[in-house]
């Protein structure tokens, strides 16, 4: 990303900070830290919990390399993205707020704020991710304090290889979303642990090819240029809070990552960290610090490329196994710029008719495949739909199917886990406004072997026929 | 503690759980975990964040060994006592609550809840710790919803080697406090990282003796019998929430400890952990697990005894250095059972008169010495007191003294950092109800060397003369 021109200052966004967070005072113990490092000082004042400065400096260098922010930002260590998101909600949200989310949302993210009376406001996505025109229309027509309650001011988004949908938001869509957020004074929380796990689209013709994970990594600049630009990189006002994690790139349960945001938000997040968590585990900090020292930033980015090819390989195994059992038909998404193609997995009946079973968007990042099942021609679903005492036949069918897979020792995650919480009256398929005669499941290809994936596809998905 | 008789169930204390915590639902992702461990299951459902079961089992064994709780309790891992206390406040407290605390309180503990409008209600202590009769009187006369606001239902206490006062609550005082808490339906939060760092009182006659830290540890039962019984061990109803930490016994910044509490509270704390932090760092868990496996529980308790003797040595260095520079006079505390003696450090003037400079209670645990300075005969303090424009001469003098020590390269922690927050109108010395013509400083003997301690005493404290 070359040399930066002098960064601009973030605009004043302090009106987004909630009442409780505004009321925090620095711990007086922190005042004493500057004296501790004085030469020759005999300290009878005890220890301090300041984070590792070298690690923070490395996080800044990595940020400049990957995102080259154009405004003056700060970094702060945090103990994993779950806690980071909890702190951001603690920074920005009041009780009974509304938060803009993707069409589907990670359950722990919303389980945090449901007890606060906060509700999710999902925005529909296509293969390019959250739809900017739908977001704009919603904000333009929002009746503040009316039927839907308080006007939202926070967008929570997993923009690359989203958990659960596997979607990545395209560059032009991001630009459109960012402009909507500027227009309506929204804060964008970019929870992006899979950012460096972007890989090329699935190529059916080369499905059997083994990805060469020993290939030399690209030069850093070339690699960075191959990634979709982050919201942070587009941010000219300091309205993006980016959550980074080492857990998805080094190992799970490391519980170490960092915030990137404007200095006003970072200072408040630091105040919360002092009293809620202190620094992340010293062992985790030490491990990452030593690794980055030894590898250098470029070496770490090289490592990310190896990981990238491993996830690509796993995605190819899964989509290859689907292609073995189904006819894959590309859906015309009407978009020429979207890198991610949408497919229907079909079977051909004895009468030669093609019957769609499920559809999915090829994940070009991360570790998840989101499958939307088409129940229109499923006889069991018709049976359930005809029963008077079944209020949500889609969900009832999904539960039955999930249990049938379980009994065949195939475990997938029910789509219902990811339904945005819009209140108790909006949980059934129809009430949520979801497409009739569909249900969803999330498949993770992060851990199973090639053989497990193939067997899983064969045993599991043939059950749906 | 031998074989336990069958434990009783905790009484129902669920009315102490706050509204937000009651509204938490389990993350649906956790439902799936039981399927993941099924034999032969092919999981396309992704990972899980369940804590290490063996480590939790070891925490339970350690708990049985040290505290032998008589009711059916549970354990839950947490990422350090700062976060543990934040989660307990999140479990029990509403906005504008009042929390009972010691006469002085750790700043980060209250910086957490000051923004929630919560206030501290300090209870005076003597050499045996918080005074049960004063607690009872306060609760008996509390006008719920009146001038002082909501009736408190939580006592936060660091009962051994308290930070900052170094005080340990005696056994009989604990029994009295516990009965008051039963009578007034209080929850006791026992934040006890220094529990196993109890050591014998300072012996002026053997002050120069080096503590033999290579001595063989006592058998576990004998060691356990030498410790003041915890509030947990006395609890027959499940109203104690005990916070345990490995940071103070293995190394700082480990960010690993565990809650011990009744199963209803633990289940709610688990719900909060799922969405606020997930498990503690896997590296920290692994480190402690491997250590406990290798050492066994008895070996770990032996290690604690070594630590105990090291802190005792450091306490002896500090009190020995004070005895070098001052005449130590024992104060009659009127208590025959208190293990901790109170001393006045005095100087003898040229006229032969004995002038008290500061007083302290001998810390018989932990790493802190709390010094209360007597300013009655200090001419600079008299000067400040005579000035019309100085509203809090005690605090002004304390600030001057602290700065003078700093410029001599002696760093101690100002006592004002630990004043309980009772609201903006109760910050000055007189308004707080503190003793006139006194000010306090906390000395930590955890890190300085013997030479630093001696030099610190000489250079620093002679400044007060």
Any A CB within 8 A of B216 CB:
no
pLDDT at B455: 80
pLDDT at B30: 67
Closest residue to B283, CB basis, from A283, A414, A445 = A283
Average pLDDT over residues B435-462: 84
Phi first, then psi, for residue B101 (nearest 5°) are -135, 170
ipTM above 0.85, yes or no: yes
**Chain A hits for B111, Cβ within 8 Å:** 24-25, 27, 274-275
- B254-304 pLDDT, tens digit per residue, is 999 999 999 999 999 999 999 999 999 999 999 999 999 999 999 999 999
Burial class, A451, CB count within 10 angstroms (exposed 0-12 / middle 13-18 / buried 19+): exposed
Using pLDDT thresholds of 50, 70 and 90, give the confidence band for residue A293: very high
What gap in Å lies between CA B179 and CA B173, rounded to an integer?
A: 10
Torsion sign across C-alpha atoms B325, B329, B331, B335: positive
What gap in Å lies between CA B408 and CA B405, rounded to an integer?
A: 5
Any A CB within 8 A of B321 CB:
no
Q: Work out the minimum CA distance from B405 to partner chain A, whole angstroms.
A: 10
Q: Work out the minimum CA distance from B277 to partner chain A, whole angstroms.
A: 5
- A82-117 pLDDT, tens digit per residue, is 999 999 999 999 999 999 999 999 988 999 999 999
Cβ–Cβ below 8 Å for B46 and A447: yes
Task: Provide the chain A residues 56-85 that lie in CB contact (below 8 A) with chain B.
Answer: 79-80, 82-83
Cβ–Cβ below 8 Å for A282 and B47: no
Q: Model's pTM, two decimal places? A: 0.93
Mean of pLDDT over chain A: 90
Burial B139-178 (b: 16+ CB within 10 A, else e): beebeeeeebbbbbbbbbbbbbbbbbbbbbbbeebbebbb
Cβ–Cβ below 8 Å for A47 and B252: yes
**Chain B hits for A20, Cβ within 8 Å:** 115-116
Closest residue to A456, CB basis, from B42, B47, B114 = B42
Using pLDDT thresholds of 50, 70 and 90, give the confidence band for residue B408: confident
What distance separates the 2 farthest-apart alpha carbons in chain A?
Answer: 89
A340 Cβ contact partners less than 8 Å away, ≥ 6 residues apart: A127, A128, A167, A168, A201, A361, A362, A363, A364
Q: Are A196 and A227 in contact (CB under 8 A)?
A: yes
What gap in Å lies between CA B290 and CA B384, rounded to an integer?
A: 58
pLDDT of B465 > 80? The answer is no
Using pLDDT thresholds of 50, 70 and 90, give the confidence band for residue A329: very high
Closest residue to B44, CB basis, from A280, A285, A411 = A411
pLDDT at A3: 46
Phi first, then psi, for residue A376 (nearest 5°) are -60, -35
Q: Work out the minimum CA distance from A2 to partner chain B, whole angstroms.
A: 35
A288 → chain B, closest CA residue: B283
Q: Are A20 and B116 in contact (CB under 8 A)?
A: yes
Q: Work out the minimum CA distance from A98 to partner chain B, whole angstroms.
A: 17
What is the gyration radius of the CA atoms in chain B, in angstroms? 24
- B207-258 pLDDT, tens digit per residue, is 566 767 677 888 999 999 999 999 999 999 999 999 999 988 898 889 999 9
- B114-126 pLDDT, tens digit per residue, is 999 999 999 999 9
A459 → chain B, closest CA residue: B42
Cβ–Cβ below 8 Å for A46 and B452: no
**Chain A hits for B161, Cβ within 8 Å:** none
Only one residue has tokens 């709390």, namely: B370
Choose among A77, A96, A103: nearest CA to A156. A103
∠ CA B209-B212-B218, rounded to 5°: 130
B310 Cβ contact partners less than 8 Å away, ≥ 6 residues apart: B211, B213
Give, in order, the Cα–Cα distances in Å from B71 to each of A265, B42, B234: 45, 40, 10
- A139-191 pLDDT, tens digit per residue, is 999 988 888 899 999 999 999 999 999 999 999 999 999 999 999 999 999 99
Any B CB within 8 A of A145 CB:
no
A26 → chain B, closest CA residue: B111
Cβ–Cβ below 8 Å for B411 and A42: yes
Cβ–Cβ below 8 Å for B79 and A277: yes
Number of residues assigned to chain B: 465
* Peptide bond connecting B164 to the previous residue in cis, omega within 30 degrees of 0: yes
pLDDT of A428 > 80? The answer is yes
**Helix or strand holding residue B321 (H, E):** helix B282-325
């Amino acid at each position: 990303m070359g040399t930066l021109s002098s960064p601009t200052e973030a605009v004043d966004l302090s009106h987004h900070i909630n009442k409780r967070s505004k009321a925090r005072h620095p711990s007086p113990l922190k005042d004493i830290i500057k004296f501790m490092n004085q030469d020759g000082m005999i300290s009878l004042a005890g220890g301090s919990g300041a984070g590792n400065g070298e690690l923070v400096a490395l996080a800044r260098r990595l940020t400049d390399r990957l995102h080259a922010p154009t405004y003056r930002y700060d970094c702060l260590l945090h103990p994993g993205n779950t806690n980071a998101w909890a702190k951001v909600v603690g920074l920005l949200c009041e009780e009974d707020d509304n938060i803009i989310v993707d069409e589907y949302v990670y359950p722990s993210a919303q389980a945090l704020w449901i007890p606060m009376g906060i509700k999710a406001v999902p925005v529909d996505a296509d293969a390019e991710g959250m739809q900017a025109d739908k977001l704009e229309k919603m904000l333009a027509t929002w009746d503040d304090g009316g039927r839907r309650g308080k006007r939202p001011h926070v967008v929570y988004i997993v923009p690359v290889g989203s958990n659960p949908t596997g979607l990545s938001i395209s560059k032009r869509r991001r630009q459109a979303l960012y402009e909507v957020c500027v227009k309506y004074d929204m804060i964008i929380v970019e929870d992006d642990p899979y950012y460096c796990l972007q890989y090329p689209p699935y190529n059916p013709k080369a499905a059997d090819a083994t990805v060469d994970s020993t290939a030399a990594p690209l030069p850093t600049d070339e690699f960075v240029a191959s990634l979709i630009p982050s919201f942070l990189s587009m941010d000219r006002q300091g309205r993006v809070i980016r959550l980074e994690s080492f857990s998805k790139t080094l190992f799970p349960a490391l519980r170490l990552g960092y915030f990137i945001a404007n200095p006003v938000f970072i200072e408040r997040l630091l105040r919360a960290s002092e009293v809620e968590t202190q620094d992340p585990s010293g062992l985790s900090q030490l491990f990452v610090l030593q690794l980055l020292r030894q590898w250098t930033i470029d070496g770490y980015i090289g490592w990310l490329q190896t990981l990238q090819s491993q996830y690509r390989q796993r995605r190819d195994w899964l989509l290859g196994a689907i292609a073995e059992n189904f006819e894959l038909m590309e859906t015309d998404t009407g978009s020429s710029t979207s890198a991610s193609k949408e497919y229907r997995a079909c079977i051909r009946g004895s009468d030669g008719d093609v019957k769609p079973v499920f559809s999915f968007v090829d994940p070009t990042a991360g570790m998840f495949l989101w499958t939307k099942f088409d129940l229109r021609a499923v006889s069991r679903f018709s049976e359930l739909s005809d029963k008077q005492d079944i209020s949500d036949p889609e969900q009832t069918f999904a539960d039955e199917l999930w249990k049938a897979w379980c009994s065949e020792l195939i475990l997938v995650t029910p789509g219902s886990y990811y339904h945005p919480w819009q209140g108790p009256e909006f949980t059934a398929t129809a009430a949520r406004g979801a497409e009739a005669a569909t249900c969803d499941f999330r498949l993770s290809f992060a851990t199973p072997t090639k053989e497990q994936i193939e067997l899983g596809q064969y045993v599991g998905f043939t059950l749906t026929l």
